[in-house]
């Protein structure tokens, strides 16, 4: 019988199978081995970000994306300070990667806050510097303005620190009722207001002064002692008590 012209399919060799594997797969393996053997600090900033991106982008080569993110935001740490909207503007970053990177940054900030609260749970916050050290982690890396309320007991020890509002801080945004409820719930002897100027200096604006005046008067009317208002800038902070604001009352 004549041999069939149809050839049997060839079995793929190990070498051919290896060709089907993306080139960067071996690179990922080497990077993970280096991480395990030498630790995270052995990696360059772009390499550290690249390794983190493996868990959000399982197959694509993410080395160029890591470089692009650091270049866009001006530093490794600033990638994790960016908002979801800012991250999504970077070429190659979709919803999943943006949410992942934002969550990593938010997780780090929460760890800092938790660590500070635990370390200072019974500390006496009887100076402006101690209040600032306690409150500073609340604003670390934030790109938006927020206001928080610190409740203190009679010995000026912290009882709680609660978020009051997002956005521009004003007497209309900061609810006196909310402050009253928090102070009553925590049985606070006094309270400290704090907010941030994330993109500028800590210098108080006229709106900040007016807000403090209105809140001080309204809170005094319901028996709550507002003893300080701290404003945190990108690199500094200002105490309204040290500016002489509370001395005139």
CATH number at residue 53: 1.10.150.20
- Between helix 45-53 and helix 23-38 the angle, nearest 10°, is 110
> What is the tally of structural domains in the chain?
2
222 and 130 within one domain: yes
* 112, 134, 155 - which closes a domain: 112
128 and 51 within one domain: no
137 and 91 within one domain: no
* Integer Cα distance of 244 and 249 in angstroms: 10
* 77, 112, 147 - which closes a domain: 112
**Both tokens assigned to 106:** 């938010």
184 and 143 within one domain: yes
93 and 144 within one domain: no
* Integer Cα distance of 124 and 131 in angstroms: 9
Contact 60, 68 (CB under 8 A): no
In a domain, 54, yes or no: yes
| pLDDT of the residue at 14 | 45
| pLDDT of the residue at 175 | 77
* 50, 78, 112 - which closes a domain: 112
Q: 248: number of CA atoms within 13 Å, CB side?
A: 9
DSSP E strands in the chain: the ranges are 146-152, 158-166, 190-196, 226-232, 237-239
In a domain, 200, yes or no: yes
DSSP E strands in 58-200: the ranges are 146-152, 158-166, 190-196
Q: 185: number of CA atoms within 13 Å, CB side?
A: 11
137 and 92 within one domain: no
| pLDDT of the residue at 198 | 86
In a domain, 12, yes or no: no
| pLDDT of the residue at 219 | 85
In a domain, 229, yes or no: yes
82 and 180 within one domain: no
* Integer Cα distance of 189 and 116 in angstroms: 22
| pLDDT of the residue at 88 | 97
**Both tokens assigned to 107:** 């997780």
* Integer Cα distance of 144 and 86 in angstroms: 12
In a domain, 208, yes or no: yes
158 and 106 within one domain: no
100 and 202 within one domain: no
In a domain, 16, yes or no: no
Domain containing residue 176: CATH number: 3.40.140.10
| pLDDT of the residue at 239 | 95
Buried b or exposed e, range 181-197, using 16+ CB within 10 angstroms: ebbeebebbbbbbbbbb
Burial zone of 39 (CB within 10 Å; 0-12 exposed, 13-18 middle, 19+ buried) = exposed
* Integer Cα distance of 123 and 134 in angstroms: 9
| pLDDT of the residue at 113 | 81
- Between helix 63-73 and helix 45-53 the angle, nearest 10°, is 120
Domain that holds residue 79: 22-112
| pLDDT of the residue at 15 | 46
Q: pLDDT tens digits, the chain, 249 residues: what are they?
A: 444 445 555 554 444 444 444 556 788 899 999 999 999 999 999 999 999 999 999 888 999 999 999 999 999 999 998 999 999 999 999 999 999 999 999 999 889 888 887 887 788 999 999 999 999 989 988 888 899 999 999 999 999 999 998 876 665 567 778 888 999 999 999 999 999 998 888 888 888 888 888 888 888 888 889 999 999 998 899 999 998 887 655
In a domain, 218, yes or no: yes
238 and 195 within one domain: yes
In a domain, 137, yes or no: yes
Helix, strand, coil fractions of the chain, as percent rounded to 5:
50, 15, 40
């Amino acid at each position: 019988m004549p041999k069939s012209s149809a050839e049997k399919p060839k079995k793929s060799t190990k070498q051919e199978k290896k060709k089907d594997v993306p080139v960067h797969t071996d690179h990922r393996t080497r990077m993970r081995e280096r991480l395990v053997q030498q630790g995270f600090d052995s990696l360059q900033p772009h390499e550290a970000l690249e390794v983190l991106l493996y868990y959000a982008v399982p197959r694509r080569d993410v080395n160029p994306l890591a470089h692009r993110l650091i270049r866009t935001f001006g530093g490794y740490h600033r990638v994790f300070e960016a908002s979801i909207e800012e991250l999504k503007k970077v070429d190659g970053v979709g919803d999943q990667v943006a949410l992942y990177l934002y969550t990593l940054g938010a997780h780090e900030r929460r760890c800092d806050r938790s660590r500070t609260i635990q370390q200072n749970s019974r500390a006496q916050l009887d100076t402006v510097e101690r209040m600032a050290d306690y409150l500073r982690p609340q604003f670390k890396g934030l790109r938006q303005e927020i206001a928080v309320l610190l409740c203190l007991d009679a010995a000026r020890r912290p009882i709680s620190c609660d978020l009051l509002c997002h956005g521009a801080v004003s007497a209309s945004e900061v609810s006196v009722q909310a402050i009253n409820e928090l102070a009553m719930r925590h049985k606070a002897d006094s309270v400290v207001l704090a907010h941030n100027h994330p993109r500028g200096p800590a210098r108080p604006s006229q709106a900040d002064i007016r807000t403090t005046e209105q809140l001080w008067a309204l809170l005094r009317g319901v028996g709550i002692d507002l003893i300080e208002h701290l404003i945190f800038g990108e690199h500094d902070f200002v105490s309204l008590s040290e500016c002489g604001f509370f001395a005139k009352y």
